[in-house]
Structure 1
């Protein structure tokens, strides 16, 4: 059970990399065409959180990950019916069975408890869970500059291509530097009413956010670092004020252009918080 509502802000950066490629634009970094600001999807960030949790909790009961590329989701829903000895093949006609299956999924899968899931497919559906943890798209503090870097590929794939030479040219799309801001929410009301997200789960979430880039390094993504995790803790379940009021307390401004490192930005925090709200700097 969680007794407090939370709102939080993440500040993270990328150096010489592509933090989240857009498949509709040749996998180049995502960019708002009108403003030039970069953005990263919530799905991308939650994927990294899931991967970290699975890494540190591998094999531990209650911390399985539902959304991952291992096998069909419907087969996992079938397992819930088998584990709870429910009648299979009713396609959700028995509401009590669906509710029991949903409870099983929340109990055994961390990402269902945290982010929710649509589990209403197949012959043995487990319902729909609205997750207490939600993360918005992140946006860069400054407009981004996408650079296409030409590279030389030493290994060619076919004999026919080898006949024209042992090397060929390729391309990588990178951002020299960008600082991103993402905002998120933890609803204690939903956690207690729907998924039973616990205080232990919440501490694991903070740890995963802080470390999610540390276990996700790749040449394509370049150097990515979580710079700040600022949490607003309300003293009750429903909260003491709207989240946007708290988010406005954190100002990030560019102080050197073009920005090429974290120190090229200034961060100011307005400590005049509404009554009943505590600011916690996790990093």
Structure 2
């Protein structure tokens, strides 16, 4: 599993922050090229087929092989190499691509107990408008969420799930002395990076080979509200992380939002603790 930062040559890759650095300077890189690099580096020394690389990066979207070649070429240009003399990305004819450079792992100098500071780095997003017609819903959710610990707001796009989640979290801010962390998952598409992404957005750093277990240890005995917004595009991965964290912690509460067409797991927390968000009453 990917640690906090990976160094190769003069470059440093921080997957959870989606950063590629040369020295201390951040490099501009497209999101697809960065996803390709993260996958290749995370499995350095392994030949990854073109079909698998496409499925990991584009996730259920049909793309032509030429699209992958274009992004690989862009990535090589950023890394300063050519296909004739690859230092980092080797094309294995008939098989796929392989990251061939030596990699060193960087870890955080702070101890695990110091690493996570929920609520200290990222305040709740501001609501653009005053909430109207949601008071009864918020009153009920305010009572239910602390008791259930894991609840998903479900509804079609634009119905106001994120607005309700932010308003509810704001109401409950005094209920969680450990803080509230709002994590927008719309910006991540690689499920393998989900746990590290959540921890980083919440103000933490994970460095162990089992990031989900480490995150659960850091959150155990902490009264924290974790808001996971826009889960619909990776609902299965989020369900595994959320259910594991709830099972392995004592005071953590998770509030998630997801589209109404999500395929919820039949026996999981996500299936039996849903709240259908409807249009506000007038």
Q: Identify whether the pair has TM-score above 0.5, normalized to the shorter chain.
A: no
TM-score bracket, normalised by the shorter chain, equals under 0.3
Give the TM-score, by structure 2 length. 0.21
Structure holding more strand per residue: 1
Give the TM-score, by structure 1 length. 0.21
- Higher Rg of the two aligned structures: 1
